[in-house]
């Protein structure tokens, strides 16, 4: 047993608020983690240092998740440096908010490029590369069900992610690979809190019966469950939001 190699995880958007919490949690569970980043190398390097400083194993790799060759190269690098891929967590995404009638079409296209095309390309590579016993965890959002004003175009991208996730789970019959999505509610990350006044934050924190905002660690806990012991959870969307919906 002592000679077994650690399981290997790729976390896209791994230097962001939720992404970083996922990286640190999976590393604490004994996985070697590829910290994917798009542009902020310094933040990715800090995430790797945080993991290695705790005795874990992590490497940072850059890629544009919407470019097929770069996504393939990301998985190639994981296999080359760490030996294979067992878990893929796709947290990379952008959120641009406006009423549907006022949203700039360029912003609509930007979100679809990263959130939908990116999830599609990462899921394709995961379907091809994940070893038996593996798990793909995509990211949706509770706003798909909450139907909040200004979130229409963003929620549409996450609805697309849910559809691809649920169908891919069934297409991978016989592979011993699970495919699920996590749908966080309001979560206290810098990206989420930016631009919101205290009254808005307090209102959002009051929505769940548990009467607080989610924390990145709350989301990472669900990801760790799906990535590890949850072998009988497959083709599901897990709403991790404290009971809002």
pTM of the entire predicted model: 0.95
pLDDT digits (tens, 9 = 90+) for 26-67: 999 999 999 999 988 999 999 999 999 999 999 999 999 999
Which residue segments constitute the domains of the chain, with CATH numbers given? Answer: 8-187+216-239 (3.40.50.720)
| 87-90 vs 32-37, strand pairing mode | unpaired
DSSP 8-state code for residue 187: B
Paired tokens of 23 = 């990286």
pLDDT digits (tens, 9 = 90+) for 181-194: 999 999 998 878 88
Question: Does the structure show a pLDDT above 70 at 1?
Answer: no
Q: What is the pLDDT of residue 39?
A: 86
Q: What is the pLDDT of residue 190?
A: 81
Task: Please give the angle made by the CA atoms of 87, 11 and 133, to the nearest 5 degrees.
Answer: 0
State what percent of residues in the chain have pLDDT above 70: 99
pLDDT digits (tens, 9 = 90+) for 96-142: 999 999 999 999 999 999 999 999 999 999 999 999 999 999 999 99
Q: What is the pLDDT of residue 72?
A: 98
92/10 Cα distance (integer angstroms): 11
Q: Write the CB contacts of 210 (distance below 8 Å, at least 6 apart in sequence).
A: 242, 243
Report which secondary-structure segment, H or E, holds 241: none
Q: Write the CB contacts of 160 (distance below 8 Å, at least 6 apart in sequence).
A: 112, 115, 116, 119
**Exposure letters 61-81 (e unless 16+ CB within 10 A, then b):** bbbbbbeeeebbbbbebbeee
20/189 Cα distance (integer angstroms): 11
> Among 154, 161, 183, 216, which one carries the catalytic annotation?
154
Average pLDDT, the chain: 95
Residue 151 a catalytic site member: no
């Amino acid at each position: 047993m002592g000679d077994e190699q650690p399981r290997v995880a790729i976390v896209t958007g791994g230097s962001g608020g939720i992404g970083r919490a996922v990286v640190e949690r999976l590393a604490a569970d004994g996985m070697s983690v590829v910290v994917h980043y798009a542009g902020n190398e310094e933040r990715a390097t800090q995430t790797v240092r945080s993991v290695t400083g705790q005795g874990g194993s992590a490497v940072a790799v850059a890629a544009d998740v919407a470019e097929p060759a770069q996504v393939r190269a990301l998985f190639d690098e994981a296999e080359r440096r760490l030996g294979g891929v067992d878990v893929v967590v796709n947290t990379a995404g952008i959120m641009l908010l406006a009423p549907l009638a006022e949203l700039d079409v360029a912003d609509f296209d930007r979100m679809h490029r990263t959130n939908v095309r990116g999830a599609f390309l990462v899921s394709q590579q995961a379907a091809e590369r994940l070893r038996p016993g593996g798990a793909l965890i995509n990211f949706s959002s509770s706003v798909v069900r909450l139907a909040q004003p200004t979130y229409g175009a963003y929620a549409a991208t996450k609805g697309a992610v849910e559809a691809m996730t649920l169908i891919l789970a069934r297409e991978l019959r016989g592979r011993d690979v699970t495919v699920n999505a996590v749908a966080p509610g309001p979560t206290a990350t810098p990206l989420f809190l930016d631009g919101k006044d205290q009254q808005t934050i307090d209102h959002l924190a009051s929505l769940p019966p548990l009467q607080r905002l989610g924390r990145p660690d709350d989301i990472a806990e669900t990801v760790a469950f799906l990535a590890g012991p949850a072998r009988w959870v497959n083709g599901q969307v897990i709403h991790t939001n404290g009971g809002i919906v």
